[in-house]
Structure 1
Amino acid sequence: MATEMFTVHTLRELAELTTLGVAPYLRYSPGPESDAGRPSTDHESGLALPGVSVNPLAAPGWWTLPLEDWLARRVCQYLREVREGARPWLLSGRVVDFGPDNEPLLVDVEPVAWVDAALVEQARQRYRARFNVGAQTHEDR
C-alpha cells in the first residue's frame, strides 16, 4: 500500500494534485499501513472516531490568494505531529462525519502520496514569509 505511493516534492506539485481532486486531504500519522483498520481517537474523551481525521486541502471560496499560500498554511497546521513521529501523506476517501476540531473523518481511504520533507520546509518558509503567523482574530479582553 504505502510502498506504492509516489512522493510530492513541491507546493506546485501539491497544488496540481489538489486542483485535480486527486489528493483532497492531508494526514499526519505513521502512514497508511499503520492507519489501516484503525480509526482516529478523540484524545480528550478517549472515544474512537468513525474514521481517520484529515486536513482538507481545497481552498474555500473566499480565498483569493494563490493556492500555494493556502496549501503552505494547511501543511504547517499540524507540524507538531512531525516532531511526535508522524509523517505527512496525501489521501482521498469518503467523509462520514467530523471530529472534535471539525476536521473531516474519512473511511474508504485511498493513499495517494507521501509529502517530502523538502515540501514541508518550502511550506514552512512560505507560511512565515506570507502570513502574520500567530495573529489573533480578536483582542483578548
Structure 2
Amino acid sequence: MSSSDDLPVVHTLAELAGLNEREPGLYVRWSRGPATDIGAVSSKDDLTGVQMPGLSANPLDVEQWWEDRSRTLWVARRLHDYAHLPHEKGPGVRPWILTGRETGRGPDNEPLVADVRPLCWIAAEVIEEARTEVARQEAEWGSLRRSER
C-alpha cells in the first residue's frame, strides 16, 4: 500500500483480498471519503431523505456459500456490484475500506456502520481489475446487466 490523503492506497485485487483475509469485518464504502463521511456520521436515504443510524457500506467478508472459491474473485465481485456509483453520485466519489459496528440495514439491505475506522483507499486500477475479472467469468456466470448509463 502507498499513502494518499492520510490513508494507504490498495493497488491490486490480490492486495485487497489479502487484507480482507487478515482482517475480517471490512466494508467498502463509495463516497467522497472519510473526511466528509465521518463528520456526517450517518447516511441519508436518497429517496426519502431520512437520516440512517450509520454509514451505508458493503461487507467484503466471504460468505460461507462461496465455499472454496477464490477470495480475490469474491472481492472483485463485491467491487463490481457498486462500481457504477461514481457515475451516479458525481465527481470525487471513490471506494475506501473501513471497519466499524453494524447498527442496522439501509433501504437496499446494506449494512449501516457506526464507530467507523477508515483503513485505506482503493485505487481506480483495482476497480478496472475487478471489472476485468468479472467479465472473464461472464460465460460461466452470466451477465449482471450493470450499465454505466
- TM-score scaled to structure 1, two decimals? 0.89
In 2: Cα distance, 1:115 partner to 1:80 partner: 15
In 1: Cα distance, 2:8 partner to 2:35 partner: 15
In 1: Cα distance, 2:119 partner to 2:144 partner: 31
Match of residue 133 from structure 2: 126
Number of equivalenced pairs? 134
In 1: Cα distance, 2:57 partner to 2:45 partner: 13
Structure 1 alignment gaps of length 5 or more = 136-141
Question: In the alignment, is the contact (CA less than 8 A) between 1:127 and 1:133 conserved in 2?
Answer: no
Match of residue 101 from structure 2: 94
Report how far residue 33 of structure 1 moved.
0.3
Structure 2 alignment gaps of length 5 or more = none
Deviations 1:37-74 (A, max 9, x none): 31111111210111000010011101032111111111
In 2: Cα distance, 1:22 partner to 1:4 partner: 22
Question: In the alignment, is the contact (CA less than 8 A) between 2:44 and 2:51 conserved in 1?
Answer: yes
Letter in 2 for 1:96: T
Percent identity (aligned): 39
- TM-score scaled to structure 2, two decimals? 0.84
Q: CA RMSD in A?
A: 1.5
Matching of residues 2-81 of structure 1 within 5 Å: 3-21=5-23, 24-38=26-40, 39-64=42-67, 65-81=69-85
In 2: Cα distance, 1:37 partner to 1:92 partner: 16
Q: Could you list the structure 1 runs, at least 4 aligned residues long, displaced by more than 4 angstroms after superposition.
A: none
